[in-house]
């Protein structure tokens, strides 16, 4: 079963999380496998699994009241890769890719062939007012010296330091069974004492963080995939004093969930205009729209399309048509 564990290091401004997606991640893959397009190539599955794990870790460390979306706008065979996590730890993920991706292809070549790829992190508040824009941070997929970043975790560590001012260590891994991640973060210091004592404290705390960060970074992807959270924590931090929070398991565990609906599809189709829809109907007899995230398919015939446009005009004043 999928799970998320949170912990802090007693007396130190350092916190951490481990996420382990099993059944929920397998559901994402099996929905895709059962769709018309068939499964994503291996490196894409691995990237999406890491993105799903990372979006949940970021969501639960930022504690944002809204959707957190991690999106790679690729410059290479991966055109787009998206993972989205909600405050209740439901998540979804999808990708648009070109055919012919090699099983051994490197991430940098897949998403950043000519150095133009980028990663966007969007925070979309739940109670967003009409006209209000979601917050978005852009992370280049290359370091300042132009070196292309090789791992998703590098990009996110960079983002957390730049945008959230949080030193972060992130280890991510995914295969077809498990998508998992470990996040260690230095919490901002509050209420420093007099300057000199403050500085000495700060140095000691920096040393503590560096020690824990080094331990965390020593975790290998294959360990993260094969070991349960208890074993990972014991192996890495057996000399530290950890305080654990109630794990998110069972009903509160991370899970796959899609936010698509027929009503949203209707709104999207309506925006294309009657003429466009009629020409599709003429050509194919019906309009089929399937969701990239969950594979759910909605079909519309001529009567449905007519209803999309007449219902608006025929509705009595003050009412809204519900499709
Ligand atoms: Zn869907």
Measure the CA–CA gap between 57 and 21, rounded to whole angstroms.
11
Top-level class of domain 3-256: alpha beta
Residues (pLDDT < 70) of the chain are 190-198, 311-323
Give me the pLDDT at residue 190, please. 64
Query: If you measure from the C-alpha of residue 295 to the centroid of ligand 1, how many angstroms do you get, rounded to a whole number?
Result: 6
Alpha-carbon dihedral sign for residues 230, 232, 238, 242: negative
Measure the CA–CA gap between 272 and 276, rounded to whole angstroms.
6
Query: If you measure from the C-alpha of residue 296 to the centroid of ligand 1, how many angstroms do you get, rounded to a whole number?
Result: 6
Query: If you measure from the C-alpha of residue 2 to the centroid of ligand 1, how many angstroms do you get, rounded to a whole number?
Result: 20
Q: Exposure string (b/e) for 101-112, b if CB count within 10 Å is 16 or more?
A: beeebebbbbbb
Query: If you measure from the C-alpha of residue 6 to the centroid of ligand 1, how many angstroms do you get, rounded to a whole number?
Result: 29
Query: If you measure from the C-alpha of residue 86 to the centroid of ligand 1, how many angstroms do you get, rounded to a whole number?
Result: 15
Give me the pLDDT at residue 99, please. 84
Query: If you measure from the C-alpha of residue 93 to the centroid of ligand 1, how many angstroms do you get, rounded to a whole number?
Result: 10
Q: To 10 degrees, what angle do helices 274-284 and 262-272 make?
A: 100
Domain boundaries, the chain: 3-256, 262-314
In the chain, the DSSP E strands lie at 3-9, 14-21, 66-73, 78-85, 90-97, 118-125, 135-140, 168-174, 179-186, 242-244, 255-256, 287-290, 297-300
Query: If you measure from the C-alpha of residue 30 to the centroid of ligand 1, how many angstroms do you get, rounded to a whole number?
Result: 14
Give me the pLDDT at residue 202, please. 79
Give me the pLDDT at residue 88, please. 95
Phi-psi region of 209 (alpha: psi -120 to 50; beta: other; left: phi over 0): alpha
Element (H, E) at 308: helix 302-314
Give me the pLDDT at residue 322, please. 44
Residues with CB under 5 A from ligand 1 (ion): 258, 260, 291, 293-294, 296
Query: If you measure from the C-alpha of residue 35 to the centroid of ligand 1, how many angstroms do you get, rounded to a whole number?
Result: 12
Query: If you measure from the C-alpha of residue 49 to the centroid of ligand 1, how many angstroms do you get, rounded to a whole number?
Result: 17
- How big is the chain, counted in residues? 323
Give me the pLDDT at residue 323, please. 41
Measure the CA–CA gap between 173 and 290, rounded to whole angstroms.
29
Could you give the 3-state DSSP secondary structure of residue 111? helix
Query: If you measure from the C-alpha of residue 179 to the centroid of ligand 1, how many angstroms do you get, rounded to a whole number?
Result: 20
Using an 8 Å Cβ cutoff, are 182 and 210 in contact? no
Give me the pLDDT at residue 198, please. 66
The closest alpha carbon to 174, from 67, 76, 295, 83, belongs to 83
Query: If you measure from the C-alpha of residue 316 to the centroid of ligand 1, how many angstroms do you get, rounded to a whole number?
Result: 32
* CATH entry, 262-314, from 3.65.10.10, 3.90.1280.10, 3.40.50.300, 3.50.50.100: 3.90.1280.10
Query: If you measure from the C-alpha of residue 256 to the centroid of ligand 1, how many angstroms do you get, rounded to a whole number?
Result: 10
């Amino acid at each position: 079963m999928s799970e998320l564990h949170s912990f802090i290091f007693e007396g130190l401004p350092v916190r951490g999380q481990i996420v382990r997606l099993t059944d929920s991640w397998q559901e994402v893959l099996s929905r895709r496998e059962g769709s018309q397009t068939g499964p994503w190539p291996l490196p894409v599955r691995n990237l999406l699994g890491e993105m799903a794990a990372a979006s949940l870790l970021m969501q639960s460390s930022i504690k944002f009241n809204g959707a957190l979306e991690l999106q790679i706008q690729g410059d290479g065979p991966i055109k787009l890769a998206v993972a989205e996590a909600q405050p209740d730890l439901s998540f979804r993920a999808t990708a648009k890719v070109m055919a012919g991706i090699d099983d051994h292809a490197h991430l940098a070549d897949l998403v950043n062939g000519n150095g133009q790829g980028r990663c966007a992190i969007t925070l979309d508040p739940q109670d967003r007012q009409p006209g209000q824009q979601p917050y978005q941070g852009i992370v280049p997929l290359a370091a300042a010296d132009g070196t292309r970043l090789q791992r998703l975790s590098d990009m996110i560590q960079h983002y957390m330091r730049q945008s959230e001012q949080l030193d972060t260590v992130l280890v991510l891994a995914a295969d077809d069974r498990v998508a998992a991640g470990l996040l260690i973060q230095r919490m901002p210091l509050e209420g420093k004492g007099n300057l000199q004592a403050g500085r000495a404290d700060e140095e000691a705390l920096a040393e503590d963080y560096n020690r824990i960060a080094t331990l965390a970074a020593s975790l290998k992807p294959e360990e993260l995939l094969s070991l349960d959270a208890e074993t990972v924590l014991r192996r890495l931090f057996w000399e530290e004093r950890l305080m654990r929070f109630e794990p998110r398991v069972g009903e509160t565990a991370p899970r796959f969930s899609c936010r698509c609906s027929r009503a949203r599809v209707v709104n999207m189709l309506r925006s294309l205009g009657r003429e466009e829809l009629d020409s599709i109907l003429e050509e194919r007899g019906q309009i089929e729209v399937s969701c990239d995230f969950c594979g759910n398919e909605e079909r519309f015939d001529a009567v449905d399309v007519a209803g999309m446009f007449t219902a608006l005009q025929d509705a009595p004043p003050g009412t809204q048509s519900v499709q």
